[in-house]
Structure 1
């Protein structure tokens, strides 16, 4: 027994070691195997900007996993590949294998539906026969109900006759006079109420004008005071030495990360021109400002021929290491000054001198 238990524990430990080794290998690949990208932009000498051809590709682990993007004539297309095979083809292969199984299942379902439909027809025929017998039984007349109906009709006919005799005793002229007098009284009372209400509202509005003016002045004063307080808080927050150190540290790491992510190789040539020579000169000046980024590897050829021209081709390549991104994130997370800034941002009402 002990020997068998020892073998089971041994195999469990071997499997756990293999799983831990695979996880460690995947982490190492994510950190030290770079994500490579490249792109290409091409524009022929045409009037429309839609005829730009652009392609981009992102790959990882020696192109085992890759994603491609194409832009042609205003249409965007994407393609994801595994070992150079698009995922659409892999999905189609799995679908073809599942189709014969689905057909066999559909045949069985049709047979079941036919049997169920035959059973339902039999049930409906039986229920119809039962309903016919019930209707025949209900159609037989009952003598007791006829006598009750005759008594109710006699009572209904005698009641309106007695009511009409009582109403005829009162004269119609007296009713008309009473209704006219009541209408006049109601109209007079309603007009008096409306007039009094209007006067009361006018007086109330006139007396409430100074109160409204005071409220508006107080609200304006409060808004101005709150705005000034916010400006002072932001000024104190930004002028604090720890916030300055945090911002400088953040800017240094951001520059390093941008320099790492920026393409390592850029080449190309651009030919451009405009009807106005001043515009071409301005564009050339702007392109000259980008020389520190591509290190003068993109040739710019301006044309002063009084026509609108734009053509060229640009190629770029780069890579991103996961270890660099993780390192910068860890440095930012464990920096005390950045933690202080985050704490101050969450607790804005606390002053700088209270918690440092």
Structure 2
């Protein structure tokens, strides 16, 4: 009996070890197998001349996503295992062609309907006219004798007077509505100005609290921890390879030089080969780019763990929520 019980425990332990090993392997695959991406494109400064190609793969291309944009249209294709999904959006030219075909078909159908109605009217006109009965002749004679006669119930002067009264009432209602809209508009402006003034007064009252909150030693320590973790995350997410060629001009030499000085600050931190050619005399923009990179989920996990482990970050998060609710 004891031998049988030990055998059952041994089998259960082997099954649990296998399940645990599978879970560890899956976790390692998710954390350490990178998501590879590739972005390439070129442009001549126009929307029609801009082309972009983006490809994202994971787990040896078992999961794949491709996006192509060019000639004002976009196409995408995805693959999950051995199954592919395709889709996209037509360009404006293709939409114009299909709309033109639909319009021609609609015009032809409308012409056919007009021809059918024309034939029906011709048949009706060819049919013999019915002669009026004697009673109809009497009514026609009565109408011919008094062509300008008015009904006894509604004389012309009373009708004109009622029409003028209705017009005056309509004009008065329109003027009243316009006055109400103008007064409500000015009332809204007054309420908005009052709300802005109240917020400014409230902010000036809590300005000292905000300064004290930012200058607190615990909060400054939390901000420093978050800054370091963010820099490490960005280093891990930056692309490994890349080639960028940019030739641009803003039309104003001073403005072009100022923008080039701003790019020079970021230039040393960008990976890959980068070439920037400024044009000081003309306004233009063209370039090419080809960027490759990898994203590891372990970087996101370590970033989250660094923030969660820090006691200063957790306390600062609580203080921020409390400060926002009071503000």
- Shorter-chain TM-score bucket reads 0.5 to 0.7
| TM-score between both structures, scaled by the size of structure 2 | 0.56
Partner of 2:76: 78
Which among 312, 329, 338 is matched to residue 304 of structure 2? Answer: 329
**Equivalent residues in 2 for 1:239-318, closer than 5 Å:** 239-273=215-249, 275-294=251-270, 297-304=273-280, 306-318=281-293
Partner of 1:51: 49
Which has the higher Rg, Structure 1 or Structure 2?
1
Partner of 2:318: 343
Any unmatched runs of 5+ in structure 2? 88-194
- Distance change >3 Å, CA 281–CA 28, structure 1 → 2: same
**Equivalent residues in 2 for 1:193-232, closer than 5 Å:** 226-232=202-208
CA RMSD, 1 decimal: 3.6
CA drift of 1:58 comes to 1.8
- Distance change >3 Å, CA 221–CA 69, structure 1 → 2: closer
- Separation in structure 2 between the aligned mates of residue 250 and residue 62 of structure 1, nearest angstrom: 33
CA drift of 1:278 comes to 4.0
Q: 8 Å contact 1:58–1:67 — kept in the other structure?
A: yes
CA drift of 1:31 comes to 1.5
Q: 8 Å contact 2:248–2:283 — kept in the other structure?
A: yes
CA drift of 1:12 comes to 5.5
Partner of 1:28: 28
Q: How many residues align?
A: 219
Any unmatched runs of 5+ in structure 1? 90-218, 352-356
- Separation in structure 2 between the aligned mates of residue 259 and residue 238 of structure 1, nearest angstrom: 27
Q: 8 Å contact 1:32–1:323 — kept in the other structure?
A: yes
- Separation in structure 2 between the aligned mates of residue 66 and residue 337 of structure 1, nearest angstrom: 41
Partner of 2:152: none
CA drift of 1:247 comes to 0.6
- Distance change >3 Å, CA 51–CA 237, structure 1 → 2: same
| Higher mean C-alpha displacement, 243-252 vs 270-279 | 270-279
Partner of 2:209: 233
CA drift of 1:338 comes to 0.8
- Distance change >3 Å, CA 301–CA 236, structure 1 → 2: closer
Deviations 1:9-52 (A, max 9, x none): 766655444332222111011112222222112124xx623321
- Separation in structure 2 between the aligned mates of residue 223 and residue 301 of structure 1, nearest angstrom: 48
Q: 8 Å contact 1:333–1:339 — kept in the other structure?
A: yes
